[in-house]
Amino acid sequence: MYEERSYLRCFRRVEHNFAHGNRDVRLFEIATSFRKAGTGEPPHEETHLAVVMTGRREPSHWSRQDEFIEAWDLKALLETVAHISYAGAAKIAVEPDVAAPFHEGTGFGVINQEGLNVGHGGLISSSDFDVPVWAGDIWGFEITLPSNPLRLPAPEYVPLPIFPAIERDLALVVPTGCTAADLDLVIQDSGGALLESLEMFDLYSDPENDNEVRSMAFRLRFRSEDRTLKDKEVDKSVGLILRRLKEQLDVEPRG
């Protein structure tokens, strides 16, 4: 290996692709990383995965406009890698003060089951690259892979449902500081066995009130495995969910 290629190889490979006119780049590298340990102790050795990506989200096609990789593409890939590497026990958190080479305000962190930060990602500063004017934003992350990885449980066969589902939409007024994840936990906990799934499908902030008044809308799907549900059963579950949201988070239904 050349001395100048002993580190930052992903960065240099991006430059190499740019130099050859390739603007759509996705690269990864798995390598050993060493951290300084205490006096008289050997360096701490870890296996890291680094990813960089830039350019169009999908190949160009006459039927649609080009869309380019952005923060949510990075977050989705980081979530997938963290989920597989840590057997579903790691979480992704917004990290506004992410360290270099990432831009402040664009970062995500990976938190393992012990509460330790084991990864970072975000928009990479173009000052680290020899970037042509036509190049898009460059995104990337680096994550520590566990030395003793856990295994995800094997998928289990679940028969297709034979009874119909009932869907209810909840539009909620949410106070500042309360997140969609907070609501998700309360709804899941309160919905019971009949709550099959929930999905957030709308978010609104009122600019006239400094975005302090927010509305979030969730779609809840209820289903029983052994009978057709009645409306009054679903009404009872929804009522309990709304009471718990008010008690625990001061969240109310939008009038």
Pick from 216, 153, 225, 171: which is nearest to 195 by CA? 225
Over the stretch 149-178, which tens digit does the pLDDT of each residue have? Answer: 777 778 888 889 999 999 999 999 998 888
Q: Is 21 helix (H, G, I), strand (E, B) or coil?
A: coil
- Which helix (H) or strand (E) element contains residue 83? helix 71-85
pTM value surpassing 0.85:
no
pLDDT of residue 247: 94
Task: Classify burial at 113, counting beta carbons within 10 Å of its beta carbon; exposed 0-12, middle 13-18, buried 19 or more.
Answer: middle
Res. 209 pLDDT band, cuts 50 70 90: low
Res. 1 pLDDT band, cuts 50 70 90: very low
Inter-axis angle of helices 180-191 and 231-249, to 10 degrees?
A: 130
- Read off the pLDDT of each residue in 193-220 and give the average, rounded to a whole number: 82
For residue 5, pLDDT over 50 is answered with no
Which structural domains are found in the chain, ordered by start? 3-145 (3.30.930.10), 166-253 (3.30.70.380)
First and final C-alpha spacing in the chain: 66
- Higher-pLDDT residue of 93 and 231 is 231
pLDDT of residue 8: 57
Q: Is 37 helix (H, G, I), strand (E, B) or coil?
A: coil
